[in-house]
Chain A
Amino acid sequence: MKYTQGQFMITEKTAIAREIYSFSIACPEVAATACPGQFVHIRAKGFTLRRPISICGIDKEKGTLRIVFEIRGEGTSEIAKLNKGDLIDMLAPLGHGFTVDTTYNKVILIGGGIGTPPMLPLAKTYGNKAITISGFRNASAVILQDDFHSTGATTILCTDDGSAGIHGFVTQPLAELVKKGGIDAVYACGPMPMLKNVAKICKENGIFCEISLEERMACGIGACLGCACRTVRNDNEYFAHVCKDGPVFNAEEVIW
């Protein structure tokens, strides 16, 4: 894992939904090595702990990263105060990303709520081989659907209350697609109950499934062992760490 820490210029800031912001950040050395599924660890002024935010876009030519994050508490609220032209302090890129296999013909990318952003770089990688299923609470929480569409992916939208797209959870269209067959892999990020159900459907149908997890974190690089996650490796229980062993895990390794 190669990572650096430094101050980088925010080149674009937009509010894309209620309390959800998108930053573009000029950081050529980070963009050069970043992979889909990795995250950046951002310093919030006045706070001891950095905040891990998943990478939503990697433009190696322009040397920029895009992040999309939601205000969850005081730390992310502080980060959201930064504006275009300000410097953002990042330790990045961090973590173990998604396994990309170019021989796959059909993959499903599932994002739930603020778990949707990390699926975008993966959609770009797979292009028209990808079907994206995004789930949100309601129409006003929907983000990134145009971005997914422009990658060439087939997009499916669900909302819990039916105010946009399919009325229901992401597992509904997933189960239908799986039934039709031909799915090589499923990748998912979102709330734990969603990930658990996605993992269950994939396991029952023998489909390769990777999920991206979230945990309260301190160092971000595997030194402090703060972000433990119970997994099974070689038949033994293993306390992996979301920052270094993850955030992306094979769904079958995770003890739910």
Chain B
Amino acid sequence: MADLSVKVCGIDFKNPIIPASGVFGYGREYEELFSLNKLGGIATKGTTLHLRTGNLSPRIAETPSGMLNSVGLQNPGIDHFIETELPYLLTKDLVVLANIAGSTPDECAEVAAKLEDTDVHMIELNISCPNVKQGGAAFGTSCEMASEVTKKVRAVTKKPLVVKLSPNVTSIADIAKSVEAAGADAVSLINTLLGMRIDINTGRPVLRNNVGGMSGPAVFPIAVRMVWQVANAVNIPVIGMGGVSSGRDAIELMMAGASAVQVGAAIFTDPYVPVKIIEEMNEWLDSKNIASVKDIIGTVKPW
């Protein structure tokens, strides 16, 4: 049995596997299938200051080895999260990353400030949602905006601050350096890639929002590349995600430089996949006589 524990921003995770924000709600629906205590952590559904209804349907489309979504940050608002969802999650033995978002840097800061007096373990600031008209990815696609929103949130919170980055940029390493300089304690990446499908019989986009975020196994090589580039560019931990669907994928992302790994779309294919990934990682480490998963972080040997 290998040691699967990792430490990110001083927070201990019993294993590096975290269901990604948006696929897993606040965990309740999956608790019906397995104990949340098996997980290293949970990144909760992106939460804004007030309730949001999200985009019109259809919000989901299948793509080769992946999917598109355009949910558009539907959520019950931060007060509901703090009153109803967070207390439930804090009874579990896992790290809670509260994913927060807003239309403006001030809204993001206001949401973060409301979490300051709670026992939530970490804040994951979403500057990369491709499905909302204001804020969202607009913050994450310029170094100046990414820096401004990170500074505003940093000013109101002492919690470990993880900034979730958009892959829809020319240089994700530059964005990562900007948020590091602005006070982020870690970065997580990649959010979804902006995509589109058209029903050729109707001439209409499949998604009612026309465009949406692409995820699933198809994006995995992009995630590996970006995690590797960012890990080489910053001195803060990187939480990797994007198309991970097996223990081997998680190991690969950690070799590229991730200190922990989030799992998204693969959960829709197999709801038990986070638990299976943990088991597969352990088996692989044992087969290689590697005592601790920490020993593989960033160990890729580039040519």
Using a CB–CB distance below 8 Å, which chain A residues touch chain B? 1-5, 43, 47-50, 74-75, 91, 215-230, 237, 239, 244
Inter-chain CA distance A219–B28, complex, in Å, is 13
List residues of chain A with CB within 8 A of the CB of B74: 225, 228, 239
Q: Which of B19-27, B132-140, B167-175, B225-233 contacts A (4 or more CB under 8 A)?
A: B19-27
The verdict on B65 contacting chain A, using a C-beta distance below 8 Å, is yes
Using a CB–CB distance below 8 Å, which chain B residues touch chain A? 22-25, 28-30, 32-33, 45, 53-63, 65-67, 69, 71, 74, 206, 216-217, 265-272
Q: Given contacts A5-B271, A224-B69, are A216 and B58 in contact (CB under 8 A)?
A: yes
Q: Which of B53, B57, B66, B269 has the most CB of A within 10 A?
A: B57
Inter-chain CA distance A219–B29, complex, in Å, is 10
By Cβ-Cβ distance, the 3 closest A-B pairs, closest first, are A223-B25, A226-B60, A216-B60
Closest to A215 in B: B57
Q: Which of A1, A4, A5, A43 has the most CB of B within 10 A?
A: A5
Q: Which of A49, A226, A227 has the most CB of B within 10 A?
A: A226
Inter-chain CA distance A91–B29, complex, in Å, is 12
- A49 touching B269, Cβ below 8 Å: yes
List residues of chain B with CB within 8 A of the CB of A2: 32
Q: Classify the interface of chain B: helix, strand, loop or mixed.
A: loop
List residues of chain B with CB within 8 A of the CB of A228: 53-57, 59, 71, 74
List residues of chain B with CB within 8 A of the CB of A227: 57, 59-60
List residues of chain B with CB within 8 A of the CB of A1: 32
List residues of chain A with CB within 8 A of the CB of B65: 48
Inter-chain CA distance A223–B63, complex, in Å, is 20
- A224 touching B268, Cβ below 8 Å: yes
- B59 touching A48, Cβ below 8 Å: no
Inter-chain CA distance A237–B69, complex, in Å, is 22
List residues of chain A with CB within 8 A of the CB of B267: 219
The smallest C-beta distance from A66 to any residue of chain B, in angstroms, reads 24
Q: A3-B32, A219-B29, A228-B54 are in contact. List 18 more A-B contacts (CB 8 A).
A: A43-B270, A48-B63, A48-B217, A48-B265, A50-B269, A216-B59, A216-B206, A218-B265, A219-B23, A221-B30, A222-B25, A224-B23, A224-B69, A224-B268, A226-B59, A226-B69, A226-B71, A229-B57
- B69 touching A223, Cβ below 8 Å: no
List residues of chain A with CB within 8 A of the CB of B25: 222-225
A/B interface sample: 5 pairs, CB < 8 A: A48-B62, A223-B24, A223-B25, A225-B59, A228-B71
- B24 touching A47, Cβ below 8 Å: no
List residues of chain B with CB within 8 A of the CB of A75: 62
Inter-chain CA distance A48–B268, complex, in Å, is 7
Inter-chain CA distance A91–B267, complex, in Å, is 12
List residues of chain A with CB within 8 A of the CB of B63: 48
Q: Which of B62, B74, B266, B270 has the most CB of A within 10 A?
A: B62
- A49 touching B57, Cβ below 8 Å: no
- B268 touching A50, Cβ below 8 Å: yes
Q: Which of A1, A48, A228, A237 has the most CB of B within 10 A?
A: A48
Q: Which of B29, B56, B267 has the most CB of A within 10 A?
A: B29
Closest to B57 in A: A228
List residues of chain B with CB within 8 A of the CB of A48: 62-63, 65-67, 216-217, 265-266, 268-269
Q: Which of A1, A47, A230, A244 has the most CB of B within 10 A?
A: A47
List residues of chain B with CB within 8 A of the CB of A217: 60
- B57 touching A221, Cβ below 8 Å: no
- A49 touching B53, Cβ below 8 Å: no
List residues of chain B with CB within 8 A of the CB of A223: 23-25, 28-30
List residues of chain B with CB within 8 A of the CB of A219: 23, 29, 267-268, 271
The smallest C-beta distance from B135 to any residue of chain A, in angstroms, reads 18
- B57 touching A91, Cβ below 8 Å: no
- A225 touching B71, Cβ below 8 Å: yes
List residues of chain A with CB within 8 A of the CB of B268: 48-50, 218-220, 224
Inter-chain CA distance A225–B265, complex, in Å, is 13
- A221 touching B32, Cβ below 8 Å: yes
